[in-house]
Amino acid sequence: MKKMTVLFVIAALVGFIGIAKAADPNMPKRPQFDPNAIRGKVLVQKDANGEITSIQIENRRRGNWEVVLDDKGKELGQYENKFVHVTGKVEDKDGKKWITVESFTELKRPQRPGFDPNRPGRPARPQRPGRGPNAPGGAQ
């Protein structure tokens, strides 16, 4: 019985601490869902003369979106292979999803020590002496 009381008191304390953290006004708020906003990678197709023929925004959850090639859409083409947040008018035409760009911002990932943006994946960890595939008794 004593163990149950101690466990109950600990669970209550954890609950109170969780509620106190959730009520913290300095905590960042999650943005509201906007059906007219898309985040994704900009994919650009060009013809032989280097003119932009189509622009797509690749989103892992919502699929690929075709961009209307007006002035703002062509301006978005300068951000090829970068991640952006685009807001605009969203519509379905001919079985494809289209967006008319009203505004966009480039999304930046936070930099961390040892991070190389040109290298995919995690930064390489330094090998300790005597370890690795070329070390005696190492992995074969």
pLDDT band at 2 (very low <50, low <70, confident <90, very high): confident
Domain that holds residue 59: 37-100
Does residue 48 form part of some domain?
yes
66 neighbors 94 (Cβ within 8 angstroms): no
Asked if 103 and 88 count as a contact pair (C-beta separation under 8 A), the reply is: yes
Mean pLDDT computed over 13-19: 72
pTM: 0.57
Number of domains observed in the structure of the chain:
1
pLDDT, tens digit, for every residue of 61-70? Answer: 888 999 999 9
Q: Return phi, psi of residue 126, to 5°.
A: -65, 140
pLDDT of the residue at 123: 55
The rounded distance, in Å, linking the Cα atoms of 32 and 30 is: 6
CB hemisphere CA count around 27 (13 angstroms): 10
CA atoms within 13 A on the CB side of 13: 6
Question: Number of helices and strands (H, E) in the chain?
Answer: 2, 5
138 half-sphere exposure, CB direction, 13 A CA radius: 10
- Cβ neighbors of 8 (< 8 A, separation 6 or more) are none
The whole-number pLDDT of residue 63 equals: 87
Indicate whether 134 belongs to any domain: no
| 7 within a domain of the structure (yes/no) | no
pLDDT per residue as tens digits for the range 59-109? 888 889 999 999 999 999 999 999 999 999 999 998 899 999 999 999 887
Two tokens at 41?
């990678």
Q: Specify if 28 maps to a domain.
A: no
Query: Is 110 domain-assigned?
Result: no
Rounded to the nearest integer, the mean pLDDT of the chain is: 80
